[in-house]
Each structure stands twice: as structure tokens, then as C-alpha cells.
Amino acid sequence: MSEAMHAHVEAATGHGVHHDEHNGHGHHHQSFVSKYVFSMDHKTIGKQFLITGIVWAIIGGLFSVLFRLQLGYPGQTFPILETFFGHWAEGGIIKPEFYYALVTMHGTVLVFFVLTAGLSGTFANFLIPLQIGARDMASPFINMLSYWFFFLASVVMLASMFVQTGPASGGWTMYPPLSALGQANDGSKIGADLWLISMALFIVSSLLGGLNYISTILNMRTKGMSMTRLPLTIWALFFTAVLGVLSFPVLLSGAVLLLFDRNLGTSFFLSDIVVNGEILPNEGGSAILYQHLFWFLGHPEVYIILLPAMGMVSEIMSVNSRKPIFGYMAMLGSLFAIAILAFLVWAHHMFVTGLNPFLGSVFVLLTLLIAVPSAIKVFNWLTTLWRGNIRFTPGMLFAIGFVSLFISGGLTGIFLGNSTIDIHLHDTMFVVAHFHIVMGVASMFGMFAGIYHWFPKMFGRYLNTTLAYLHFWVTLIGAYLIFWPMHYQGLAGIPRRYLDKSGWHSFNQFGDLDKMITVVSVVVFAVQLMFVFNFFYSIFKGRKVTSTNPWGATTLEWTTPINPGHGNWEGEIPEVHRWAYDYAKDGRDFIPQTEPIGNNESAH
């Protein structure tokens, strides 16, 4: 039985997994297509996710710059917009329909395509086999499918931006009835169907990937790599995958039911509706049901985005402080606690939907509980820095930035998670500021940290460090300039998604602030483009890596050749003898995981 399976894996993947005989030299005859396009090498698939994610990040980021132009300069004309967007920006002014399409696509693209696929897709693929000591994923073929389903989802989403009535524009959460009724919103015509189909494909991709990550981590660790010797990156990616596998199917059910309501005349989410004078026949549905289905994914999704960043930050921070991560077991336990609680807090997005107040109070308790493991993580990161010998590599800078942003955005979460305060702040700019700092920018920082840290392993070259420093400082300062004052707009009660506040008496006092935020976001976006340039330039022309272990790290990926082939290690996969964080132990700078425990070594 096991031999048959073995043979099957070999046939499917085209490379041997016999650890003993493998020598890493058997793959010189791959065609361009099988090496770079339909590749089954986890490293190439990781890079495919990363590059697709970067392309989406540019699109999603550009959208935010466009709608910031409207927010900062309402009423002003930008003729260049008409040149590019035609009737969507007639006379150089962004139309409300266009504005809402931009906002919706910005959210969808950044949350799902960049920070889910681009972040965990990239690093789960790239790091899991390398850090646990495996030649590839459990199923390289399914892994390849995972990327191509993501690619298909991308194509459908991109196509939706070019249809006559525009892409989905009911907000990234796509609440029905707005998203169900074409009569109520142009974006809810064909655009919404395409959005739902794209998300369905995306969910398939995410599930294929997630199952693979879980089975790889559980089954394919090298000799000696017990679960508690895994680097925290792997633990974080493991919990991320579990969250995705358990919650994405619920969103799929929501998306499918919404497709039914839209196209088959069902009434899952629709009831008592008169739209533009037209009385609809639907009765008995519940619009709130969709919100439960959405947020049952939607909240774990926040942690799907955040956990990989936490894991990578833990790893990078330890390496560059030249110190073990403080409280490995506590870090692991808090990851576990966050993963469990992630499933039990979804209704805190729904405190003002008419939810039963008692139910609301339960969700307050569970939501604020998350602050405990989060606090443990923050204090442990701080203690990791304490009495370290810190090297400010670009990866390390972004890791420190991540912690700062995670603190700032996490603390404002304590306001919103408390239903009493949420009544006032719900759906205001305070929420926008909160989740952009804690989930958006912080996770972006985790992703940048990961890219800067593992770029040498991915491409055998370094990114330009001067540009990296500039990238870090401008982005950190910019992020705070954009989102910190935005909290005050929320405290003033300004609702989200208001593209022009001039008609209001209460909301019209922040003109200068809005201008400042817009200018800063243009600068920050320009610096991100500079990073993208640095990324692609350095792939081909960057300074070459000359040693296999440039950061002096203990983990297994740095025992592979500078440019590892398919199969990762030439010869045998190394055996692991210790945990991943023996830095500064017994007077030694670091001890690789592959080194056997010495006779006189102190226990930790």
C-alpha cells in the first residue's frame, strides 16, 4: 500500500522523494513551461503567488490613491482620470458609482488577493518545506492547482472591472440586499455575479493550498523535527491553514446562496423589498443571515492575514536580535488561543444589526479575550529585543514596524470590541483607521519583512538596502500620518464610505486633514512602486548572495544551496537536533538546528 502510494506520488510529481538516494541533480531537463509556468516546485509556486500578489497590490493600492483624490479634493477636476476611465470619471470628476466600485475592489483585492493569497500563499509555499526539511509539499500537483485556481479567480475579478455596468460596488463585504439587486446598484448587475464566481474560485484555491500545508506540516517533517522544534513561522502558517480550511467553506455557502438569490429567484437573504417603486415577491429571507455567514469567515480571515505576519516577525526578530524568541511555548499557546477565539467573535461586526443584546454581550467577552494572547505576544516581542544585539536589516526594521502598528491598531480594537462604544464608532472612519493599521498595514509590514528576509533564499540575490531603508521609514511614517488622525474623524461620527461631506453640517470640518492624508498616500504609494522596482530589478541585477547563511540563522532553509533546485537539498535531508532558537547560547552566536547537542551544553 505505502509503496503504491509512493510510486503514485513519484509519477504525479516527476521527482523522487527517496530521501536517501536523492541528489538534487536530476532536474536539468525541465522545459520552460514545466519549470516556470505549470511548476510543481513549491518554491516556484510561492514566487508565483508573490508576483501575482504584487501585481494585485499595485492595482489595489492605485485604487486607494484614486479615491483618496476624491476625498482630499472633492469637486476638483483631474482630467487625466477621464483619459483613463472614460465615463466613470466624466469631466475628470470621480462619479459616486466609480468611487464605490474603487472602494469595493480595493478592499476585495487587498484582503483576499494580496494579504491572503499573496501573503500566506507565498510564504506557506516557500517556507514550509524548506523550514521543516521536506523536498516539496505533500501533493505538489494540488499545490500547483491551488495557484492556478487563484489565477483563474484573478482573471474573473479583473474581467469584472471591464464590464459595462462596472464591478461589484456594494462594499467588500457584499451585504445583500444591495449586492443582490441590480435595480438598487449598477455594481450589483453582472459585476456582482463575477465577484461571487471569482470568490468561489478563490476559495477553492485557498482550500487546496490549506489542506496541503496542513498535511505537509503534520506528515513530512524531517528526522528530529518534532512539532515543538518547528520555527514559529511554521506554527503560524499551520494555524492560518486550519483557520482557512474551517472558515472559507462557510463563505462559499454564503456566496452560493447569494448567487441563487440573484439568479434563481430564491429568498435566502431577501424579504419585504420595494426597490425604485418595484415591489419584489421575496418574503421570509433574512439579510442578516448573510452577515453571519460572511463574518464567520470574515473574522477568522483577519487572523488568516495576521498570523503569518506574526510568525515571520517572531522568526525575523529572533534572528536579528541574535537572541532566542522569548517564551516560545507562550508564543505558540497564544497563537493557538487566537486561532480558537477567531471562530468565536464574528458577531462583533454585527452589534448594531439588531442582534439580541445578550448574544452581543457574549461576543463582547470573547472579543476582548483576544487581547490577552495578543498582549502576551507583544510583551514577548519586546522582551526578545531586550538585551539583544540588534541588526537593523530591512526585514528587522519591518518586523519592528509591525509590532508598533500591531500595538496601535490592536488597542483601538478594544474600543470597537466593546459593544457600548461600538454603538457610536461602528461604521465610522474610526473603524477604517483601526483595521487598516492592525490588519492592513501591519500585515503588509509582516509581508515586507518576509520578502526582505527571504529574498536571498528566493533569488540568490539581495534587495538594494538603501532603497529598503527609505521604503521602511517613508511607509512607517506615512502609515501613521494617514491613519492616526483618521481616528478623530471617527470620533466625530463621520461614517465610512462618504465620498463628499460638503452636504453635512456635522462632518464638514476636516478639509485640511483629508488633503494631508491624500498627499501622504500618494507619496506612500510612490514609495511602494519604488519597492516593486527594487524587487524586480534585484531579481536580475541585485547584489549576489555569497554564503548559504547570510543572516546567521539556525533554521533549515539556510542549509540548502544558495540556489536550491527542485528537491531543496543535494544529498540527504539534514537531521534536526534542537529547537530553532539557539542564539547567544553558551557564548556562541548561533547554533544551527542541524548540530547535535554537545556534551557540555546547558539546557534551556
Partner 1 sequence: MQTFFIIAILTLGFLVTFQIAKASEYVAVLRGEERSRKQSNKINGFMMLIFLIVGLIGVFYCNEKLKGKILGAADSDHGVYIDRMLYITLALTGFVFFLTQIALFLFAYKYQESDKRKAYYFPHNNKLELIWTVIPAITLTILVGFGIFYWFRITGDAPSNSMVVEVTGSQFKWEFRYPGKDGVLGKKYFKEINDAKSNPLGQIWDDPNNHDDVYATGELHLVVNKPVKMVIGAKDVIHDVGLPHFRMKMDAVPGTPTTMWFTPTKTTKEKRIETGDPEFVYEISCDQMCGKGHYSMRGTIVVETQEEFDAWMASQKPQYVRAFPEKDPSAKPVADTLKPVAQLAPAMTTGGSH
87 versus 223: smaller Cβ distance to partner 1:
87
- What are the angstrom distances between the C-alpha of 302 and each of 51, 309, 440? 22, 11, 9
Contact 524, 478 (CB under 8 A): yes
Reading the block at residue 588, the C-alpha cell is 556562541
Distance of closest approach, residue 533 Cβ to partner 1, in angstroms: 7
Between the two ends of the chain, the Cα-to-Cα distance in Å is 42
Distance of closest approach, residue 454 Cβ to partner 1, in angstroms: 18
What's the CA gap between 310 and 307, in Å, rounded?
5
What's the CA gap between 407 and 593, in Å, rounded?
31
Distance of closest approach, residue 351 Cβ to partner 1, in angstroms: 9
75 versus 277: smaller Cβ distance to partner 1:
277
1 versus 274: smaller Cβ distance to partner 1:
274
Distance of closest approach, residue 322 Cβ to partner 1, in angstroms: 4
Contact 474, 524 (CB under 8 A): yes
Reading the block at residue 521, the C-alpha cell is 498616500
Distance of closest approach, residue 346 Cβ to partner 1, in angstroms: 16
Distance of closest approach, residue 170 Cβ to partner 1, in angstroms: 6
CA atoms within 13 A on the CB side of 159: 14
195 versus 583: smaller Cβ distance to partner 1:
583
Distance of closest approach, residue 563 Cβ to partner 1, in angstroms: 20
51 versus 427: smaller Cβ distance to partner 1:
427
Secondary structure class of 336 (helix, strand, coil): helix
CA atoms within 13 A on the CB side of 176: 35
The amino acid sitting at 163 is V
* Nearest 10 degrees: Cα torsion 307, 123, 146, 248: 0
109 versus 181: smaller Cβ distance to partner 1:
181
299 versus 487: smaller Cβ distance to partner 1:
487
33 versus 329: smaller Cβ distance to partner 1:
329
Reading the block at residue 278, the C-alpha cell is 418595484
What's the CA gap between 378 and 334, in Å, rounded?
11
Q: Which helix (H) or strand (E) holds 110?
A: none
Q: What is the DSSP letter of 324?
A: P
206 versus 374: smaller Cβ distance to partner 1:
374
Distance of closest approach, residue 119 Cβ to partner 1, in angstroms: 23
φ/ψ of residue 230, rounded to 5: -70, 140
What's the CA gap between 528 and 526, in Å, rounded?
5
241 versus 442: smaller Cβ distance to partner 1:
442
Reading the block at residue 546, the C-alpha cell is 555569497
Distance of closest approach, residue 57 Cβ to partner 1, in angstroms: 18
- List CB contacts of 71: < 8 A, sequence separation 6 or more: 499, 514, 517, 518
What's the CA gap between 321 and 308, in Å, rounded?
20
Reading the block at residue 308, the C-alpha cell is 503569518
Distance of closest approach, residue 486 Cβ to partner 1, in angstroms: 10
Distance of closest approach, residue 323 Cβ to partner 1, in angstroms: 4
Residue bearing cell 501622504: 520
34 versus 383: smaller Cβ distance to partner 1:
383
Contact 192, 262 (CB under 8 A): yes
